[in-house]
Structure 1
């Protein structure tokens, strides 16, 4: 506690011990005056405030049926509670008075917007409006709003906007005088001070003219550019989520202030101008060579979904089966690379209309790729904006993984049109409702429908479930429902917990309720709250209602244990006799000694766990036995078939639908390991991956002996499945990273080189993207990358040869043939060959790669080169490369994080990247402060492999005197990870090194 807190506590203790309470004269007077004021205020309110009928009372819970009138519903606030400014009341008029009490910057519900009429004119070139207006925009906005509580102050959000003219009137046209405005920078507020009072229940119109900035940052209404030949082409685009609409217009910039937007944009007539609504007409501008585009009004939506793009673009288009116009836009030279996203976008738009049983509510859906974008994509209603890598695909240049990435992101964003846009979270503490559901839909439902041969339901286990287990095992994790207020806190939760954990518990719930019940509940939820806001409990209520005639699940009671507390359980299963097992649960932590942040919940870190299980004799993986484990209860598992042998293995969490880990007694682990050796295909792909992932993680914290976990990999020469290989490589990667400067790396390298040899030889270097199964292409890349990483000389020679051939072909390309025609490397193998060609080469190879990065216009190809260039073994080259990454003429600001993170993953570059981050911290903050998760991602990744006390001390010292902003949570997690790494080196490094020494082939074989 602070000194002040200690003094207060001591004084209270003395009062209690002496048996009385002592007050000063001043305190007595203050209490008396305060009491008189309260009595007077209450009396005035009772006498003078207008009565409200029952229909007008604002409630804290949504009604059971959709409302057809509007009193506005006031959401329950998250902790800490909002402390509003003090108000003095005269009749039915309220005046805001200064207050010294803390306030979290949330808007009050005095004023409720109905619609915005927005006009914009961006200036991108000097000739547009003169050099002094370049990279600015003129704006006009007319806000129609209702007054719910009488006030003489209008408060809006505003940032980096210069106000010019503003007027206020009622809907009868009567002017209301505004005496002036004041800015409150702390909360990004503008207060318009009125000379009279707005009346409760009346509608008003606020008109504002303003000047905004088209900044080079990646938020609000910002500028970007690309090269077309020798010409720089400028464009203006948007990223409003989470709190950046206020940079484009003064507005009520919170998600539950939904309104209709009617937009018009004045722009050069040779440019394309897009917004959320369909363009209805264009009018000639008073400026020669300019035009004014107008757009249909949007449905009621949140400000963070507002979008507009102005620039030189081309498109492909189609009509969906349900007559929605779908257009995919890009730089003109890349427009042919939009064909795949157009096809899958059309497919999924129709499919989601059927899945949700709700028609897409707009006339068109635009999807556009822009060169600079902080996120992967943004789900703006009717105008989804993408980073180029996530929308453009060229089969001649890009890999199967690039194609899958495009499919996943398009699916994710289109799912948002319903879950997020049609129904929106009331406040950002329920962000997971938007992102968790869209992440679940993207692969398991959407891409699985469009591309069934990709086996996305199997891939989910490694893409989302197992990947989020690691951060969610930290004591510094957070619940999926987490209280947030400050914009930095909001940006912090755009992380894997909101996305991948949210998706994982949706998948788990679908498995518990069944597809029909789950889908019915989701449809009811969307229908009930369409064009409105909702909370997590609204979804639980809808799912409980859907289940009531089929099961007896209280979805809220079950799911509160998964959403209101962080982390997850490990279920300990122990054999009682030949047919009975006991199961108990406890909170799994990667670093139990560090403790947990228990401020979020009083549920005690216990969960309602839906256990599914089967056994060796007559196993049933499609309809396994199941039982509920309740909090604080030990559960007995008995196979229903009663035909279990006393030497059978026992398996829990079938296909890893449950969001929990499983630990067995040593005998059962040994039997499962033997099953993998004898016939691994008896177990489903997901469970083979689960066993390896669970065992390696449990061994990491000492719950399983490391030899038990490592023995599970002995069968891997026989494994051909992509998902189990992904799980194995993930489990080994932690040991590899800890061993990068430790003697155990040598035997680990020999062991892994041997284990992957069969897969390497089986799949080989001959890649046939047109005929090879999708996951075979993924597995080939894994096999070659793993072989090269662990220094299979044939692999390194092949990579070097292909890289050299590419350099030779390029040098001899006197006819300037397109690069894909002279590049001998298959698109699926480019990442591997580029990386190891750079690693095994020197400065000449690096300079070739750097030139190719600069020359290519394909965004996915650029990313491959950015990562590959970090493989250099020369410290001076890596240092120079980091300097290049912060020169926006060389590397786009959105990609600088890729460079520093990739350099840090090179064991030679680890300390170089860390020193560079510390030295250039302010620059990275400027790049990524408003980017959801960007800054935190850098901090987490650059420090992830630190495992010495000196590195820990450096990271701890780094925080002193710094505002970490949205990286605060990531920094705390980094400290915890480093502590666990140090502990692991002390407890496990020697044991693991000795196991690999025994299991690896001798040196030279």
Structure 2
């Protein structure tokens, strides 16, 4: 059986206003029309969780009006509502199941839940909002809570007259609802297209909005607390333009009459793509140019673009099951860059993709405990596990790679076929590959992409040159070559179809390069010629602009030629490949494939580098060493080396912010200041301390928005309890969500253990730290070398509380485990980690816990094999000594 349609009525009670005097409850009534597909069934089984059933009827939709409902059972383990009927249901006959029920508007950030904020008069204002993905619609109504069940939804919401109700469809009417009593209204919404339950959304609030209509006539609104409504302008402008851009890109009109975007004070994720009613965390939607940084602005643009991309990829066409989650998230993670590149072309978003997504997910995907982007899942915990960087960033990276292989126009034509053919339906990876095969015959897309979606990890391509002939050999790249690998993902032998794009010094063709293919099913070796134009002394580059999802190792001679070229004229190699060379070299050195001297040689040119992308790659590479050296005697050598490395950039960009700079120039300044201050640059720390103290003495003398995170953090780091108390006060007083998040991070920068212990205690005090921010207290403290042990102790001593409050959110819980264990690099750390996991349920973070163990073992090996060598290399390569 399957549901054809839902008619849903909800009444949330936030202020003791319901007739029975209940508060923080919602009353529901749902009528579900179901289709019976086989004979002999006398049970109706659907999902339900944390709901109290008040009444049930089961009747045919046509003909007899006899109620055949008998009784019901609940299966709490599998979250089922089982309705027993008095007679067998007839195949081919439609029935209507009507359920009257009551649910709790909890503060758990899932299902239909409550949130609040303090208004300008100091009063607590309540609202009801929702988060259904992936398996929490069953908390809002009894339903078939799986993506393969698409249905029509007719929703109406009963609410107080001083509040507004929103849902997926456009409002048809709002009228007095006398049945509920005085002061109640009922808003009825237009029937939705066929969609899965995880896209359902409801909000009842006193929010204000700003509105415009797109050029194609879609009503576009952005909602927020009334006090923050003037910070919605940027999101409204971006949303309007990006929605219209995606209509053109997908060659498919947005199928709804309206699009609402709402910033709620308490939200577990960054945002959720509910069809027609996208819900955001405030920091992902609100932007105040006078208070917020360039990074805040980019975050708003990127998240808005990501969620609007889902309106087609995920909403218009939905995966058949969660094993293809990557189709949703990977696609949106790639296309979000296209949307922002259209609206903000100066930001060079396609260059940023290399350091934000490709290189960041490489680290996770190099572990033996990684997983494919397409992975079997069953239980809610397993489903939550795959809402991770593999599904998002790797998914986006391999789609970017596929776009490069097929070309932009072919890629778009295939997407149009896919979206048109499966509109308002379900599909899977194979159906996308088939759609792309239908519009071109040059490649077998499925054959290529199966090697990238069904296997975990990625290849390392070793290159050697003999005259003008190149030999390529691929292997499954593991940061620890001895790490055990799960064979169940290795049916293809951990070999990939790899497009080897290549160019050389005499040609320098990075936009339309030559290419050859490594055939992943026939072998790991390939020999091919460089172009005849290549001189014998030319350097060569494989994987132009790092479009391919793989790493490259060159022979020693070519590594040296590339380093020499960077020192002489870096502009001959584009920024993406400069970043790729640095990231590949340091990762290969970390693995022992090349020497650290070779990697450090590539960074000597950085004294002349003013481009953000290569610097970001370099600083990220040094972050691993910094984490490993934080308790090691060689830290001083690292500190001196980094102060030498960053000096030229710090002097070039200065400490004074210039809002007129390009956003990447602003990012470069922030990187320079953060790095210089972190490693103890006296002038940098003095500037940060001075600016914070001036602000403490005169609240009108505000720090430039771009520099606030650096100034707040470093001012507190070198300050006393006085600066920390000031930061806490500012965190509590601030009504700007981005400013609030900056102060929260800054509070973790103290070097006083007793202060950090106090900070950790606020995790359990929602009157000080909001529930949605509490996990950040733990994560941020763990990133502070003084707070690491404190955070680890807190996690263990307060495990039950943390698991209960954060275990249901895959992203939050994953990041807690990952951040708290990232620095583990001793056998004692490993013993403690393994002991902690004995007999413990990690829920959605089970895979992350195993990855933490793998990462710890890798860190231990690195310390044993390379710590002393690297420490000496910092001395040998320090040009300031």
- Structure 1 length as normaliser, TM-score? 0.86
Given that 2:62 and 2:94 are in contact with CA atoms closer than 8 Å, whether structure 1 keeps it comes out as no
Give the corresponding residue for 2:745. 867
For 1:467 and 1:775, locate their aligned partners in 2 and report how far apart those are by CA, in whole Å.
18
Given candidates 942, 945, 950, the residue that maps to 2:828 is 950
Given candidates 543, 547, 561, the residue that maps to 2:451 is 561
Give the corresponding residue for 1:493. 386
Describe the SS at the equivalent of 2:72: strand
Given that 1:218 and 1:931 are in contact with CA atoms closer than 8 Å, whether structure 2 keeps it comes out as no
Given candidates 125, 129, 133, the residue that maps to 1:233 is 125
Give the corresponding residue for 1:673. 563
Give the corresponding residue for 1:393. 287
Give the corresponding residue for 2:373. 480
Describe the SS at the equivalent of 2:368: coil
Instruction: Give per-residue Cα distances to partners, 1:48-98, cap 9 Å, x unaligned.
Output: xxxxxxxxxxxxxxxxxxxxxxxxxxxxxxxxxxxxxxxxxxxxxxxxxxx
Structure 1 position 670, deviation (Å): 0.8
Given candidates 726, 734, 737, the residue that maps to 2:624 is 734
Describe the SS at the equivalent of 2:192: coil
Give the corresponding residue for 2:99. 208
Given that 1:370 and 1:386 are in contact with CA atoms closer than 8 Å, whether structure 2 keeps it comes out as yes
Give the corresponding residue for 2:221. 327
Give the corresponding residue for 1:597. 486
Give the corresponding residue for 1:909. 787
Give the corresponding residue for 2:550. 660
Instruction: Give per-residue Cα distances to partners, 1:259-282, cap 9 Å, x unaligned.
Output: 000000000011011000011101
Q: Check if 1:178 corresponds to 2:69.
A: yes
For 1:637 and 1:758, locate their aligned partners in 2 and report how far apart those are by CA, in whole Å.
41
Given that 1:493 and 1:933 are in contact with CA atoms closer than 8 Å, whether structure 2 keeps it comes out as no
For 2:719 and 2:248, locate their aligned partners in 1 and report how far apart those are by CA, in whole Å.
54
Given that 2:209 and 2:229 are in contact with CA atoms closer than 8 Å, whether structure 1 keeps it comes out as yes
Describe the SS at the equivalent of 1:205: strand
Given that 2:9 and 2:157 are in contact with CA atoms closer than 8 Å, whether structure 1 keeps it comes out as yes
Given candidates 37, 43, 60, the residue that maps to 1:148 is 37
Structure 1 position 754, deviation (Å): 1.5
Instruction: Give per-residue Cα distances to partners, 1:742-797, cap 9 Å, x unaligned.
Output: 1211121111112211111111122221x211111111111111111111100000
Q: Go from structure 1 to structure 2 and tell me whether the alpha carbon gap of 1:537 and 1:823 turns closer, same or farther (over 3 Å shift).
A: farther
Structure 1 position 130, deviation (Å): 5.1
Given candidates 343, 352, 360, the residue that maps to 1:459 is 352
For 1:931 and 1:200, locate their aligned partners in 2 and report how far apart those are by CA, in whole Å.
40
Q: Check if 1:748 corresponds to 2:748.
A: no
For 2:449 and 2:802, locate their aligned partners in 1 and report how far apart those are by CA, in whole Å.
38
Given that 1:391 and 1:410 are in contact with CA atoms closer than 8 Å, whether structure 2 keeps it comes out as yes
Given that 2:146 and 2:196 are in contact with CA atoms closer than 8 Å, whether structure 1 keeps it comes out as yes
Given candidates 608, 625, 629, the residue that maps to 2:497 is 608
Given that 1:329 and 1:366 are in contact with CA atoms closer than 8 Å, whether structure 2 keeps it comes out as yes
Structure 1 position 198, deviation (Å): 0.8
For residues 447-846 of structure 1, the aligned pairs below 5 Å read: 447-548=340-441, 552-575=442-465, 577-631=466-520, 632-640=523-531, 642-769=532-659, 771-810=660-699, 822-846=700-724
Q: Go from structure 1 to structure 2 and tell me whether the alpha carbon gap of 1:137 and 1:580 turns closer, same or farther (over 3 Å shift).
A: same
Structure 1 position 933, deviation (Å): 2.2
Give the corresponding residue for 2:141. 249
Structure 1 position 557, deviation (Å): 0.2
Given candidates 271, 285, 291, the residue that maps to 2:163 is 271
For 2:264 and 2:803, locate their aligned partners in 1 and report how far apart those are by CA, in whole Å.
22
Given candidates 349, 357, 364, the residue that maps to 2:258 is 364
Q: Check if 1:983 corresponds to 2:861.
A: yes
Structure 1 position 841, deviation (Å): 0.2
Instruction: Give per-residue Cα distances to partners, 1:934-977, cap 9 Å, x unaligned.
Output: 21210011101111111110110011232111110000000000
Give the corresponding residue for 1:819. none
For 1:465 and 1:592, locate their aligned partners in 2 and report how far apart those are by CA, in whole Å.
21
Describe the SS at the equivalent of 1:238: strand
Structure 1 position 624, deviation (Å): 1.1
Instruction: Determine which structure has more spread, i.e. the larger CA radius of gyration.
Output: 1
For 1:537 and 1:659, locate their aligned partners in 2 and report how far apart those are by CA, in whole Å.
20
Structure 1 position 885, deviation (Å): 2.1
Structure 1 position 703, deviation (Å): 0.7
Structure 1 position 926, deviation (Å): 1.5
Instruction: Give per-residue Cα distances to partners, 1:829-870, cap 9 Å, x unaligned.
Output: 000000000001010000000000000011111111111110
Describe the SS at the equivalent of 1:211: strand
Q: Check if 1:169 corresponds to 2:59.
A: yes
For 1:463 and 1:115, locate their aligned partners in 2 and report how far apart those are by CA, in whole Å.
41
Give the corresponding residue for 1:32. none
Give the corresponding residue for 2:245. 351
For 2:842 and 2:419, locate their aligned partners in 1 and report how far apart those are by CA, in whole Å.
38
Stretches of 4+ aligned residues off by more than 4 angstroms: none
For 1:679 and 1:869, locate their aligned partners in 2 and report how far apart those are by CA, in whole Å.
43
Q: Go from structure 1 to structure 2 and tell me whether the alpha carbon gap of 1:137 and 1:993 turns closer, same or farther (over 3 Å shift).
A: same
- Structure 2 length as normaliser, TM-score? 0.98
Given that 1:330 and 1:369 are in contact with CA atoms closer than 8 Å, whether structure 2 keeps it comes out as yes
Given candidates 79, 89, 101, the residue that maps to 1:188 is 79
Given that 1:176 and 1:194 are in contact with CA atoms closer than 8 Å, whether structure 2 keeps it comes out as no
For 1:357 and 1:668, locate their aligned partners in 2 and report how far apart those are by CA, in whole Å.
45
Describe the SS at the equivalent of 2:286: coil
Q: Go from structure 1 to structure 2 and tell me whether the alpha carbon gap of 1:173 and 1:888 turns closer, same or farther (over 3 Å shift).
A: farther
* Mean CA deviation greater in 700-709 or 618-627: 618-627
**Which runs of 5 or more residues in structure 2 are unaligned?**
none
Given that 1:578 and 1:644 are in contact with CA atoms closer than 8 Å, whether structure 2 keeps it comes out as no
Instruction: Give per-residue Cα distances to partners, 1:333-385, cap 9 Å, x unaligned.
Output: 00000000000000011110111111111110000000000000000000000
Structure 1 position 989, deviation (Å): 0.4
For 2:778 and 2:524, locate their aligned partners in 1 and report how far apart those are by CA, in whole Å.
47
Describe the SS at the equivalent of 1:293: strand
Given that 2:600 and 2:877 are in contact with CA atoms closer than 8 Å, whether structure 1 keeps it comes out as no
Given that 1:492 and 1:966 are in contact with CA atoms closer than 8 Å, whether structure 2 keeps it comes out as yes
When the two structures are aligned, how many residues end up with a matched partner? 874
For 2:693 and 2:445, locate their aligned partners in 1 and report how far apart those are by CA, in whole Å.
60
